[in-house]
Structure 1
Amino acid sequence: MSELGTQLSDAVKAAMRAGDKPRLGTLRMISAAIKQKEVDERRTLDDADVLAILDKMVKQRRESIEQYEAAGRAELAAAEKAEIEVIGEFLPKALDEAEIDARVAAAIEQTAAESVRDMGRVMAVLKPQMQGRADMSAVSARVKQHLA
């Protein structure tokens, strides 16, 4: 089991002992998503795979929040925000704007990218470094901006 998987398992046990049902529900949802991916791929996931799942879950919730707020459903948006907080506990510290720009510039230099056509190579270098630490769609926009 990965280090994140162990942390998640410990958090589930702590939430059960504390009787924190909303947190427990979110933690179980994370565990189920990880287990589903393991069953689908018939292998044990490492930390990078778990981070990708968590990152995807956060992205889904952010999109849901936008839709709920547009529809005037503040209570549902608040529930999604609470889930993001719980999921965020297992993600690494987020990168700030300067760090993202520095890594983008370094990746462009490393891959010798010259135009937007080279964006795939740059993103291939950045994704493992930034998975779970930055919104990849925002990183993609930054890369496009640097290459334009």
Structure 2
Amino acid sequence: MSLVERLTDDMKTAMKSKDKFALTVIRMIRSELKYAEIDKGTPLNDDESFQILNKEMKKRRESVEDYTKADRPEEVEKLKREIEIIQSYLPEQLTEEEIEGIIDNTIAETGVSSKKEMGKLMSAVMPKLQGRADGKLVSQIVSNKLN
């Protein structure tokens, strides 16, 4: 089942169960995907859809930090619930050990050895981890490996 079909089914389920919060989040996801599809001019594949979902996750994680600093616990809780719903549509996230293994293999493939070449390594690693790992975490691990 494609991501769009799954979202449609879950939207119907949320309507039937009168889960307004989940319905709102699912509609937002569908809207973002539709905007991206219109911009592209052709239907999105699942990888492109996952990129959009990751972008939405990143926005909410940044907002959680901002609302935490502003001492707005009700907004933080709302955003965390949204993150959980969005996360349920993403592929299973890799553990730090799995990410490190992929990074080690990529270092061996590319021959990168210094921090100056971090961009080269990141551009080789990110396509392998797309949608399955947070870019901030990957960047942190790569930085540690190159030190």
Q: Secondary structure, in 3 states, of the residue corresponding to 2:94?
A: coil
Query: Is 2:94 the partner of 1:76?
Result: no
Tell me, in whole angstroms, the C-alpha distance in 2 between the residues paired with 1:68 and 1:145.
Answer: 29
- Tell me what 1:44 maps to: 43
CA distance in 1, matches of 2:95, 2:34: 31
| Deviation per residue, 1:123-148 (Å, 9 max, x gap) | 22322222222211110121122123
Q: Does structure 1 residue 141 correspond to structure 2 residue 109?
A: no
1:96 matched to which residue of 2? Answer: 95
Amino acid aligned to 2:37:
E
Farther-moved stretch of structure 1 (136-145 vs 21-30): 136-145
**What residue is the counterpart of 1:59 in the other structure?**
58
Letter in 2 for 1:119: M
* TM-score, normalised via structure 2 length: 0.93
1:85-121 superposed Cα distances (whole Å, 9 cap, x missing partner): 1001101111111111111111111112122233233
The answer on whether the counterparts of 1:8 and 1:27 sit within 8 Å (CA) in structure 2 is: yes
Q: Is the 8 A contact 2:47 2:131 kept in 1?
A: no
Q: How far off its partner does 1:50 sit?
A: 0.6
Q: Does 1:111 align with 2:110?
A: yes
User: Once structures 1 and 2 are overlaid, which stretch shifts more, 71-80 or 92-101?
Assistant: 92-101
- Distance across 1 between alignment mates of 2:127 and 2:17: 35
Query: Which runs of 4 or more aligned residues in structure 1 lie more than 3 Å from their structure 2 counterparts after TM superposition?
Result: none
User: CA RMSD, aligned part only?
Assistant: 1.4
1:29-40 aligned within 5 A: 29-40=28-39
Structure-1 separation of matches of 2:40 and 2:28:
18
Question: Structure 1: which amino acid aligns with 2:52?
Answer: I
5+ unaligned residues in a row in structure 1: which ranges?
none
1:11 is displaced (CA, Å) by 1.1
2: CA distance between counterparts of 1:36 and 1:83?
A: 19
Aligned residue in 1 for 2:131 = 132
CA shift for structure 1 position 19: 1.1
Contact 2:22 2:85 in 1 (8 A): yes
In structure 2, stretches of 5+ residues that fail to align are none
Q: Which AA in structure 1 matches 2:10?
A: A
Distance apart, 1:5 and its partner CA: 1.6
Question: Aligned residues: percent identity?
Answer: 39
Q: How many positions carry a matched residue from both structures?
A: 147
Contact kept? 1:55, 1:131, Cα under 8 Å: no
